A and B are shown apart, each in its own frame.
Chain A
Amino acid sequence: MTDLATRASTRVVTSPGGRRRLNGGGPRAGTITAFLIPFFLPFVLFYLVPVGYALWQSFRAVHRTGGQYGTSYTSFGGFEQYQKVFENTEFWSSIGRIGLFGVVQVPVMLFVALIMALLLDTPLLKLKSVFRMTAFMPYAVPGVIAAIMWSYLYSPQLSPVVDLLNGIGLDPDFLGPGAVLWSAANISTWLWTGYNMLIMYSALQSIPQELYEAAKLDGASNWAIAWRVKVPIIAPSIVLTTVFSIIGTLQLYAEPAVLRQISSNISSTFTPNMLAYAVASGNNYQQAAAISVVIAVITFVLSFGFMRLTSKRAGL
């Protein structure tokens, strides 16, 4: 938000017209405020306040007056909740699990998205709009619905796919202990590849044609143009989709939560978000808040760390 605001204000200052308008004084500022309120009010109410509330909760601890059930109250508890998060082995194994998930799923998904975007960008492909629509369609399906749909395809009792594979002598167990993480990864990939492809494709569209002509004159093949010209130029959007995917991975919830209903190989603490939910549903709001804050910090560190790491090479 500050980023956008800074950028907007720089723009106003550098353009001469903007300067004149600003010098105009009070009523204009009022207009600007009026236009900003529809954004800032929900932003404060539904973003800043909940974040502040979670932070505040994470520093509280429950106490209780005597008796079998007692009366509970909370007071300042310092870093007690955070200490519990760091000592919680379930938390770290859930982080490890989605770490593995991300390390495999994100590169696979983005590689497929990149290939699809490059294919879309070649003059060779016919029926482009149909291909683009088909690839993007899964994104229009809500995550929970997609997970329910796939859970039918995975379920040995109901799935035509499993029946088909059984027919040719294969006996797949999509919900088994080793496979279920990748079955969830498959749902995410199915959902998000088209979306990422579209971001990369729009970046490809903005490359001036002259570049390709120059490359062709230099004797570059289509393959070389794709790899040596197109990919480096759209590197910033690849970085962007990677950051989105890292954030998405750390927030993984819907897919495993739905699969959990048909597979006993997904525990209630399978992903960090599921753990936070399980803890909150046990009324331990303070602990759940601390878990959420830690997840947020890890997400922040990983996504910004990745940006910094790649910013120079990607030319950001």
Chain B
Amino acid sequence: MSNTVTRIRLAVVAAAAGVLVLAGCSSSDSSGNSSAASCEPAKGKVTLQYWNTVPGMDDVVALWNKKNPDIQVETKNISNDQYGTLGNALKADKAPDLAQVGYDQLPNLRTQNAFVDASDCSAATKAKSAFVPWTWSQASFGDTGVFALPQDTGPMALYVRSDIFKKHDVAVPKTWDEYAVAAEKLHKADPDLDITFFDPNNAEWFNGLIWQNKAKMYGYSGDKWHVTVASDESKQVAEYWQKLIAGKLVRTDLANGSTQMYAAYQKDQIASYVGAAWGYSMFRDNLPKQAGKWSIVPMPTWGANGASGDWGGSTVAFMKGGKHLYESVKFNTWLNTDPEALALENKLGGLYPAANAGLQLPALSKGVPYYNNEKIFDVFADSSKDIDTSFTWGPTQKTVNLALQDAMAKAAGGDGTLTDALTAAQNAALKSMKDQAIPVTAGK
């Protein structure tokens, strides 16, 4: 008898708890307006929350905290499942003041009402001139507000094992056509040698390649998004790599940054690497015995078109959870434009700065011992200038990238082609945007 009563009582408690949780969620769902916040300095001491994924960022923040006793910053590393952590925090109304967000995920988070507009703070709008133009354009969504400040970029270049090219008497390629010819020559000279690898699980890398060819994945006009993931420019890139894969001139069994990849480079099985600026420390730290064998040269170009691509890079965004916009702007500006902060981030975290000032850092104008004392950052600086500024990411980029990867993997295994993969990604973009109630249409 009392047993039953207890059970009923517990059931009531359970139901009440459930209702409370559900009620909490429904209210948070409807109050999702991301309006511009006012920019008033706080009275007294302020503590900011800043979530990031950069190694060594604790030391950079410690430097700030020492200099600014009234604006203290607390950091949290969210490298493990960065966007899952941010998405959950947003859903629970527990987002930090500032968080690291990759350029390609900015539109995605904006459609989730993740940011506050900092354009009421003059310090934020004035920061525009401090940054490489395309980075500012992406962080401000083409000047519709200031939602983030750019932090680092990944201008692309070609990493070359000069000794292998020399040994087989193959010239270092300047265009993609020359690259394909070199691929054939190297493979012919040594059947165990390939010019590079195509990582089918890396949509971000492939996106960098199509960005270089001036492909536009998305546009917006007439109250609609226009999806052009499978454009002629992207298809040209897809067909090019498809030919290399079909001819077995590039390996497809390696993932970027994996132990397997380093093992293949260690065994001199691969002669080059199409990479980004932040990759320079990867080879230096993982293949110390190959010091002096690597050079970094400009990325091969599409004919006379000298454009370059970008792979990766991040911003520090003003998140909805922030209550101290004035102080957040102050810290964010320092973090991403102050020479002392930038130098420390480059040294500890390997960041290649998005700020113009960063390009003149003493550390970035010196020769790098691992790369024959070559001034490799000059190559990246030139690459950075040649990146198409109007490239935009889609609001469901993560889903699109996954679809692209799944289909690229199939193509690498001989099931379909990379062009099919672009079509799959195009369809995934349309479907996922419809699922998010975003008005969308295919083509320009």
| In contact, B113 and A72 (Cβ under 8 angstroms) | yes
1/0 per position for B73-112, CB-CB distance to A under 8 A?
A: 0000000000110010001000000000000000110111
Separation in Å of the B152 CB from the closest CB of chain A?
23
Stretch binding the partner chain, chosen from A61-69, A118-126, A228-236, A250-258: A61-69
| In contact, B6 and A268 (Cβ under 8 angstroms) | no
Number of A-B residue pairs at CB separation under 8 A: 144
Question: Cβ of A170: which chain B residues have Cβ within 8 Å of it?
Answer: none
Separation in Å of the A290 CB from the closest CB of chain B?
11
B108 to A, closest residue via Cβ: A283
Which among A12, A22, A52 is the interface contact of B22 at CB below 8 angstroms?
A: A52
Does B406 have its Cβ within 8 Å of any Cβ on chain A?
yes
Does B29 have its Cβ within 8 Å of any Cβ on chain A?
yes
Chain A residues 203 to 220 lying within 8 A of chain B, measured CB to CB, are: none
B19 to A, closest residue via Cβ: A52
Separation in Å of the A184 CB from the closest CB of chain B?
16
Stretch binding the partner chain, chosen from A134-142, A152-160, A297-305: A152-160
Separation in Å of the B201 CB from the closest CB of chain A?
6
Does B304 have its Cβ within 8 Å of any Cβ on chain A?
no
Given contacts A5-B7, A29-B6, contact A73 B402 (CB under 8 A): no
Question: Cβ of B438: which chain A residues have Cβ within 8 Å of it?
Answer: 64, 70
Does A53 have its Cβ within 8 Å of any Cβ on chain B?
yes
B269 to A, closest residue via Cβ: A157
Separation in Å of the B393 CB from the closest CB of chain A?
12
Question: Cβ of B141: which chain A residues have Cβ within 8 Å of it?
Answer: 68-69
| In contact, A32 and B3 (Cβ under 8 angstroms) | yes
Which among A36, A267, A283 is the interface contact of B112 at CB below 8 angstroms?
A: A283
Question: Cβ of A311: which chain B residues have Cβ within 8 Å of it?
Answer: none
Which among B7, B111, B398 is the interface contact of A281 at CB below 8 angstroms?
A: B398
| In contact, A156 and B409 (Cβ under 8 angstroms) | no
Question: Cβ of B107: which chain A residues have Cβ within 8 Å of it?
Answer: 69
A279 to B, closest residue via Cβ: B399
| In contact, B30 and A56 (Cβ under 8 angstroms) | no
Does B291 have its Cβ within 8 Å of any Cβ on chain A?
no
Separation in Å of the A26 CB from the closest CB of chain B?
8
Residues of B within 8 A of A (CB): 1-3, 5-7, 9-10, 13-14, 17-18, 21-22, 25, 29-30, 32-34, 83-84, 87, 91, 107-108, 110-113, 141, 144, 200-201, 220, 223, 225, 252-255, 258-260, 263-264, 395-396, 398-399, 402, 405-406, 408-410, 412-413, 415, 432, 435-438
Question: Cβ of B220: which chain A residues have Cβ within 8 Å of it?
Answer: 68
1/0 per position for A1-44, CB-CB distance to B under 8 A?
A: 00001000100100000000010011011001100100010001
| In contact, A9 and B255 (Cβ under 8 angstroms) | no
B400 to A, closest residue via Cβ: A282
| In contact, A72 and B32 (Cβ under 8 angstroms) | yes
Does A269 have its Cβ within 8 Å of any Cβ on chain B?
yes
Does A265 have its Cβ within 8 Å of any Cβ on chain B?
yes
| In contact, B111 and A53 (Cβ under 8 angstroms) | no
| In contact, B112 and A72 (Cβ under 8 angstroms) | yes
Once the chains are docked, how many angstroms separate the CA of A157 from the CA of B438?
44
Once the chains are docked, how many angstroms separate the CA of A40 from the CA of B10?
8
Chain A residues 247 to 304 lying within 8 A of chain B, measured CB to CB, are: 260-262, 264-265, 267-269, 278-279, 281-285, 287
| In contact, A29 and B409 (Cβ under 8 angstroms) | no
Closest 10 CB pairs of A and B: A264-B409, A282-B399, A29-B2, A64-B437, A267-B406, A157-B260, A264-B200, A44-B14, A52-B18, A157-B263
Can you offer 18 A-B residue contacts whose CB atoms are under 8 A? Answer: A40-B14, A45-B17, A49-B21, A53-B21, A53-B22, A64-B436, A68-B144, A70-B438, A72-B113, A84-B435, A157-B263, A264-B409, A268-B405, A268-B406, A281-B398, A283-B396, A283-B398, A284-B399
A13 to B, closest residue via Cβ: B3
Does A129 have its Cβ within 8 Å of any Cβ on chain B?
no
1/0 per position for A98-131, CB-CB distance to B under 8 A?
A: 0000000000000000000000000000000000
Question: Cβ of B34: which chain A residues have Cβ within 8 Å of it?
Answer: 71
Does A145 have its Cβ within 8 Å of any Cβ on chain B?
no
Question: Cβ of A158: which chain B residues have Cβ within 8 Å of it?
Answer: 259-260, 263
B264 to A, closest residue via Cβ: A157
Separation in Å of the A23 CB from the closest CB of chain B?
9
Q: Chain A CB within 10 Å — which of B17, B108, B435, B436 has the most? A: B435
Once the chains are docked, how many angstroms separate the CA of A285 from the CA of B409?
26
Does A177 have its Cβ within 8 Å of any Cβ on chain B?
yes
Question: Cβ of B395: which chain A residues have Cβ within 8 Å of it?
Answer: 69
A64 to B, closest residue via Cβ: B437
Question: Cβ of A53: which chain B residues have Cβ within 8 Å of it?
Answer: 18, 21-22, 25
